[in-house]
Structure 1
Amino acid sequence: MPANKRNISFATFNLYNLQLPDQPMYPKSRPYTQEQYDAKIGWIASMIKRLDADVIAFQELWDRQALETAFEAAGLSESYSFAYIMEGAWDGIAVAAAVRKPWEITGVKRHKAFPQGLRLKKRERTMKGLRADPPEADEDIVPDENDEFGPSHEDERIEVSINEFSRSPLQVTVTHGTAKSPSVPPIQVFCTHLKSKLSTPLDNEEYRNPAIRPHTNALGAALSAIRRTAEAAALRIILNDTMRDTDDPTIVLGDINDGQFSNVVSILSGQPTFRVIAASRSGGRSDVGLYTGVTLQQLRSLGDVYYTHEFKNVREVIDHALVSEQFYDHSEKRLWAFREMQFFNDHVAHASHAESDHGQVRIWFQWAPAG
C-alpha cells in the first residue's frame, strides 16, 4: 500500500451546544429556532470541510441527528462513520467521533466511572514516615525518603470523593480498512471534554449560609478545578492501562479546558521529554507519555496565533491533541512523522451561537516509520 495512503490527520471541534431546533438544552437557555439551527448546521458543515480530517473528535453534542445532518450538508455523510457515547438518546452534552474511510471504527468504549486505581486521599503525618492511623500488625511501613524534618508542620490531609467523569470520555479504536499489513496498527483515540473553568454553582445549603455566600465564585471555581484535575488523573490512569508495555498508537483529542503548561495537561501527558537539541537522545522512548501537539508546532514555527479560546481577553489553547511516541519524530518507535498543526480561530473573539466559542484544531502526520 502506498505510504501516502497511511498518512493520517486528526481534529477536535467544540460544537458549542449542537442541538435540534425546539429541543431543550440548559435550564435557562432558549431552544434554537429553525432559522438558528439551519445557520449553525451550515457553519459546522463548512468547518468540517475546511478541517478535512480523517478523525474528528466533537464536544458539546446534544443529539446525533444534528451532527449527521451537518455531515449531510457538507456532502460527506457517506465518507464518515460515527461513534457516540451510547445507543439512543442521552441527556446533556456529550463527545462523539467521526472517522473517514478508508479508516474504520472497530471498537467503541465509554468511560463514565473512574478507574479503580484512582485514590485521591492523603492522611496526616505525625511521625517521620508514619501515618496518623497506625498500620495493622502485618502491614509494612514505608518511610517517606523526602521527609527530612521529622514530624510534619502542615496538615496534608485531603480526600476527594469524586468517582465519575462529568462528561464521559469516548475511546474509539481506529484501523485502516485497506491495510493488509500489520505495519498499520490499531490507533486508540480518546475523545474528551473535561470540566470547565466556570464556577460550579453551590448547593442551597452552602449558598444560604451567610459565611459562605460571599465567596460563591471562589468556592465554585475551586470545585471546578478539583473536578477537572481529578478527571485528568482518572483519564491518565486509563491511558496508563492502555499504553503501558504496548506499542498501540494513542491520541487524546478534545476540550481539556486548561492550557498547555497547566497541571491538568501535565497530568494527562505524563510530561515526556522533548528533544530540542539535535545531538540529544531525549525523546527516544516514552512508553506512556503523550506529546502536546501545540508544543510540536511551536518547536517548528514561531507563529503567534496559537489559541483556541478567549475568556476575559485571555487567549490560550485549551483544545488539545496529545499523541503517543508512535507520532513523535525522535522516537525509536515512530510510525508517523509530525507535519503540521493548524488553528482555525478567526471567529473566536466574536463567535455567535451559529459558530463556536472555540477554535478548531487540525494535526496531521505522514507515514514514516523509524529506521
Structure 2
Amino acid sequence: MRPFVSPAPLDTLTVATCNTLNLALPERVFYANQDAYTRNQYERKVQWLANRFQTLNADILAVQEVWDAAALQEALKLSGLHYPFVTVPGAENTDAQAGASGTPRVGIATRLKVLACRSFPDFPAGLGQPIPGLGIHDKFERPPLVATLQMKHGQVVSVLTCHLKSKRPKFLQDEAGNPLEDRDNPKIAALASLRSLIMRGVEALAMRCLVIDLLRHTRMPLVVMGDFNDTPDSVTTQLIAATSEVAYDRGARDRALFNAYDLLGDAALKKDVAYSHIHQGSPAVLDQILVSEEFDPLSKHSVGDVRRLDYFNDHLHEGRDRTRSDHGFVRALLRLRFPDKERAATGPNSAATTPVAGTF
C-alpha cells in the first residue's frame, strides 16, 4: 500500500475499544447466576482497568459491558487521564436509576469536543425478524452509540460504538430466569445457538442501515469499533462493512467500511499479534476497528490513514479472572489532515458545541 502523502499538516487521533467484562459496582447483582463483586474484587477490577486505560492513553475510548457508569468513572479517575465527556446510556447511576438492568451497555469517553451523541435502542422500522420461541427481535440488546466529535484543529469525525449479540446459546427461560428448556439436550442446544445467530445477524443488518445513513453522500470520516462477537471475515461483520461490494462497484466506497488492520501497510507490525479473544485455546479477533474510506490512502476522498494498530492481549494468557477482562483491547493511531480554514469556518465544524442527543 502506498504511503499517505498529505499536502497539509496531519493531526493524530488515537481510538481504542475495550470490553470491560461486566464492570459493575460492588455488592450489586448484575446476573442472577453470578455473585456480586466484593469490595476487594471491585477495587482490583477498577485499578486493573485504570492501568490499561493509562497505557492506551486514547483520545476516544469505546467501552462495552458496563453495568454502572459510576464504576467506569472511577476507573477513569484512577487512570490519571482527563476525559471531560463520559457517557454510558442506560447505565447511569442516579436517584432514578441504579445502573443497567438485564444486560450491560456500551459507552464512550473522549477528550474531544462533543457536538452530538445519541443511542439507538430500536432497529429501523420493518427490520425486526422472528426468533424461534422468542418472537420478533426488533431492538438491540446493547444499543449502539453514535457520537459526533470535533478534533483540536477543527476536523469533525463520527464514532460508532457497538456490542453485538454473542454466540452464547440463547436458551428460553421465564421472567425469573428459570430454564424452560433442557440445556443438556444437544438438539435444544443447537436451536439455542441458532437463536443467537439470527439475533446477531439482524443486529448486524440494523447496524448496516445505521452505517449507510452515517456515510452516504457525506465526506465526514467515520470510525466504527466495539465487540462484534464475530471475526472480520464473518457474514455479520461483512454485512455491516460491505467491503466486498467495492470490488465490483466503485461507487460503493461511499457507504463501505474498511478494517483498520487491512489498511495498515506495515506487515511487520501485524505478525502473530492480531487477536483479541481466546476461546477454547483458539485466538480470534472479535474486537474490531472499522473506518470509512476517508482513512484509505487509495481513495480519492482520503483525508488521512491508519498509522498503527495495537492489540493489548497479554492478560489473556494469565488465566481467567473476572477482575480483568476476557477480551484484549485494540487501539488504532489514525492521522487526518487539518481542515482548510474556509471549510472550518463554513462547514460542520461551525456547529454547536453542546452535546445534543438525537442530532447530527
- Alignment correspondent of 2:110: 99
Cα shift at 1:300: 3.3
Report whether the alignment pairs 1:286 with 2:253: yes
Cα shift at 1:226: 0.6
Q: Which has the larger radius of gyration?
A: 1
The structure-2 alpha-carbon separation of the partners of 1:119 and 1:227, relative to structure 1 and needing over 3 Å to count, comes to closer
Cα shift at 1:273: 6.8
How is 1:121-160 mapped onto 2 (pairs within 5 angstroms)?
Answer: none
SS across alignment from 2:226: strand
The residue type paired with residue 116 of structure 2 is: G
2:15–2:331 contact (8 Å) kept in structure 1: yes
The structure-2 alpha-carbon separation of the partners of 1:209 and 1:118, relative to structure 1 and needing over 3 Å to count, comes to closer
- Identify the match of residue 9 of structure 1 among 6, 14, 28: 14
Cα shift at 1:85: 1.4
- Alignment correspondent of 1:310: 278
Q: Which string of whole-angstrom CA distances, capped at 9 and with x for unpartnered residues, describes residues 223-256 of structure 1?
A: 1011001100001011111211111211111000
Greater share of residues in helix = 2
2:129–2:138 contact (8 Å) kept in structure 1: no
Which stretch shows the higher mean deviation, 170-179 or 352-361? Answer: 170-179
How is 1:230-309 mapped onto 2 (pairs within 5 angstroms)?
Answer: 230-272=202-244, 286-297=253-264, 300-301=267-268, 303-309=271-277
1:333–1:369 contact (8 Å) kept in structure 2: no
- Alignment correspondent of 1:74: 79
SS across alignment from 2:207: helix
1:44–1:355 contact (8 Å) kept in structure 2: yes
Which stretch shows the higher mean deviation, 81-90 or 355-364? Answer: 81-90
For the residues of structure 2 that align with 1:228 and 1:172, how far apart are their CA atoms? 23
Q: Which string of whole-angstrom CA distances, capped at 9 and with x for unpartnered residues, describes residues 267-306 of structure 1?
A: 011125789xxxxx99797101000123234773450111
Cα shift at 1:161: 2.9
The residue type paired with residue 107 of structure 2 is: A
The structure-2 alpha-carbon separation of the partners of 1:346 and 1:282, relative to structure 1 and needing over 3 Å to count, comes to farther
SS across alignment from 2:136: coil
- Alignment correspondent of 1:166: 141
- Alignment correspondent of 2:44: 39
Unaligned runs of 5+ in 2: 1-7, 340-360
Unaligned runs of 5+ in 1: 122-159, 276-280
Report whether the alignment pairs 1:356 with 2:325: yes
SS across alignment from 1:304: coil
The residue type paired with residue 93 of structure 1 is: P
Question: TM-score with structure 1 length normalisation?
Answer: 0.78
For the residues of structure 1 that align with 2:169 and 2:199, how far apart are their CA atoms? 11
- Identify the match of residue 169 of structure 2 among 189, 199, 202: 199
- Identify the match of residue 321 of structure 1 among 282, 289, 310: 289
Q: Which string of whole-angstrom CA distances, capped at 9 and with x for unpartnered residues, describes residues 315-353 of structure 1?
A: 100000010011112111111211111000111132411
The structure-2 alpha-carbon separation of the partners of 1:354 and 1:3, relative to structure 1 and needing over 3 Å to count, comes to farther
- Alignment correspondent of 2:300: 332
Question: TM-score with structure 2 length normalisation?
Answer: 0.81
Root mean square deviation, CA, Å: 2.9
Higher relative contact order (CA 8 A, sep 6+): 2
For the residues of structure 1 that align with 2:180 and 2:63, how far apart are their CA atoms? 38
SS across alignment from 2:143: coil
- Identify the match of residue 87 of structure 2 among 59, 76, 83: 83
Q: Which string of whole-angstrom CA distances, capped at 9 and with x for unpartnered residues, describes residues 182-208 of structure 1?
A: xx1x2111110000011111246xx76
The residue type paired with residue 297 of structure 2 is: D
Which stretch shows the higher mean deviation, 35-44 or 298-307? Answer: 298-307
SS across alignment from 1:165: coil
For the residues of structure 2 that align with 1:244 and 1:237, how far apart are their CA atoms? 10
SS across alignment from 2:275: coil
For the residues of structure 2 that align with 1:3 and 1:298, how far apart are their CA atoms? 20
For the residues of structure 2 that align with 1:68 and 1:200, how far apart are their CA atoms? 31
SS across alignment from 2:40: helix
Cα shift at 1:83: 2.3
For the residues of structure 1 that align with 2:69 and 2:181, how far apart are their CA atoms? 42
SS across alignment from 2:288: strand
